[in-house]
Structure 1
């Protein structure tokens, strides 16, 4: 195993609705090679993400060379995935896959600010793999669990900020603090997304 693989950041499981709201990025040191993180609104950081959904559309949006865009849909929204000459394997999957198809994507979050000031969030994929429906459903359940864990930690931290116990020091949660300062969306929104995502999987299983 290479040194790069040993130090590679864990890929966070995150639903599209939260991922697309993760418009603030930051580094934790001034080293130009320091990893870049997206700040998740539920109070965590993500250098890499792991998503599974339905690849519904692909398009070569490149001008001078191939640059593929894919739309990967989960029960809460859409991940936009872009791959070009520096991601040849991922680009070939987007080029060759007949849609719709279930896919898993591991990659890095990227932000782009438009002329009107809107910040769009996308994934630069390291890998894209064709998967089956059972894999998609399992990802939804596991991502729901991870999201709820983050929400509960955020809310526990928030409760301590608002009503700290007498004589105690409220626990620190620097990413929750950053999220509260940077974002307007209450974390309760993502709890609703979790419920809808799980209901979507149950509906699929009921009609199978």
Structure 2
């Protein structure tokens, strides 16, 4: 067996859940051990894969270029940041002309503001322009994955899942209830929005 590290699976997640994934952890004391974001639906994510509309880019750096990109999916907005250590992603954001559909693979990062709020952002490994069909397929797959995770949390087997237990510990309300309805609504709403877009497209007279 090779001793080379393997890349973590990139989780499909909607913005509404990604932005709530404020708890991060390591599973090893090693310095280079991967950092995971804990998704409220009971899964760990070292990497994520998102597709949406790049609506805005801005160089927010002071001493050097540090690009911010806003990517919108049916549920909300992802914020990604790329600087000198992500040259390809930074170059894409510098030259992009929003709005454009993009696919982004990257790592979740958390930052605590001065007032104690935890902001979750994406450090992109790659950013590529994609077409509407790619966006649509991502929405369907991400909705499916989200609903599967919710179903797993609500099943009897969930009590045996350490990440579900962690989600209950860190994201449950004061009564100990882990509420996932908002993520179910986001997934179902994304699928409904997709159906409406397809129906409108079919209703348009052909040229």
Cα distance, 1:187 vs structure 2: 1.2
Structure 1 residue 60: deviation in Å? 0.2
Q: Which runs of 5+ in 1 are unaligned?
A: 161-169
Whether the 8 Å CA contact 2:84–2:90 is kept in 1: the answer is yes
- Map of 2:188 onto structure 1: 195
Look up the SS of the partner of 2:80 in the other structure.
Answer: strand
> Partners of 2:159 and 2:77 in 1: how far apart?
34
Partner of 2:33: 34
Match of 1:111 in 2: 110
Question: Is 1:179 the counterpart of 2:178 in the alignment?
Answer: no
> Please, which runs of 5 or more residues in structure 2 have no aligned partner?
173-177, 202-207
Aligned length, in residue pairs: 195
The RMSD of aligned alpha carbons is 1.5
TM-score scaled to structure 1, two decimals? 0.90
How do 1:37-116 and structure 2 match up within 5 A? 37-116=36-115
CA distance in 2, matches of 1:48, 1:127: 11
Change (3 A) 1:182 1:205: same
Q: Detail structure 1 runs of 4+ shifted over 4 Å in the superposition.
A: none
Contact 2:56 2:98 in 1 (8 A): yes
TM-score by length of 2: 0.91
* 1:102-181 correspondence to structure 2 within 5 Å: 102-157=101-156, 171-181=159-169
